[in-house]
Amino acid sequence: MIMRTYAAFLALTLMPAAAWAASAPCSAVDAPRDAAHPTHNQQLLIPSGGVGMNALLFAAAGAGPHPTVILMHGLPGNERNLDLAQAIRRCGWDVLTFTYRGAWGSPDDFSIANAMEDTKAALDFARSPEAARLGIDPRHVVLAGHSMGGATAFMTAAGSSGLDGLILLDAWNIAGGTSKGAISRDEMVRGFDDFGNSLHGATPETIADEVIAKRTQWDLPANAHRLAKLPVLT
């Protein structure tokens, strides 16, 4: 199942960028080094909510501009899916990753609402002149997210235009099970037991309360019609 999902992930990301695929075919190993424009990682600060979120750009080889996948991690972010970032870069795409406000050293307090805003801020950055100078092609952007990151990617895509696609890796329907009381607050709190020191200003209780308060707003199936014209991989 994992390998099928992995293969489908790469197939979807390549579809909008046939021109790049011809010059940078996918491979399980890195292509010969481009001495003039080698692959590299670029540490960044993406502005959101008045602070700079920690971010890392996996820049592909070649002069660019490159189509780009913005890859969002879940809650709290112990799994980053950076193996996929490396594989996508081998296919000639840049990959932009970041940590939400209040997560893993990014300033401010964490909340799911802030994470939604942060994902939109990352998309805005990818379409900015600064990103263009880094080799990102603002005309070809795909949003991808795992678990909670899938939810933030979904809701951002639902409110945006001009994207090449959306990739949902086990996306969390935040409203699922809460709208009719199927999951109690106490059950949710017990489920949020792995925050450790990764999130600032958030507790299992505050996240559970936020989920209950925003469950209608963040119901993914109820918003699916807003993605009718966008290629989506789930």
Domain chopping of the chain, boundaries:
2-233
Fold of 2-233: Rossmann fold (3.40.50)
pLDDT tens track, the chain, 234 positions: 343 444 444 544 444 444 444 445 576 677 778 888 999 999 999 999 999 999 999 999 999 899 999 999 999 999 999 999 999 999 999 999 999 999 999 999 999 999 999 999 999 999 999 999 999 999 999 999 999 999 999 999 999 999 999 999 999 998 876 555 567 889 889 988 889 899 999 999 999 999 999 988 999 999 999 999 999 999
Return the pLDDT at 118.
98
Return the pLDDT at 112.
97
Separation CA 100–CA 76 (nearest Å): 10
pTM greater than the 0.85 cutoff? yes
The token duo for 155 is: 């809701």
DSSP H stretches of helix in 15-70: 18-23
Separation CA 183–CA 177 (nearest Å): 5
DSSP H stretches of helix in 15-108: 18-23, 82-90
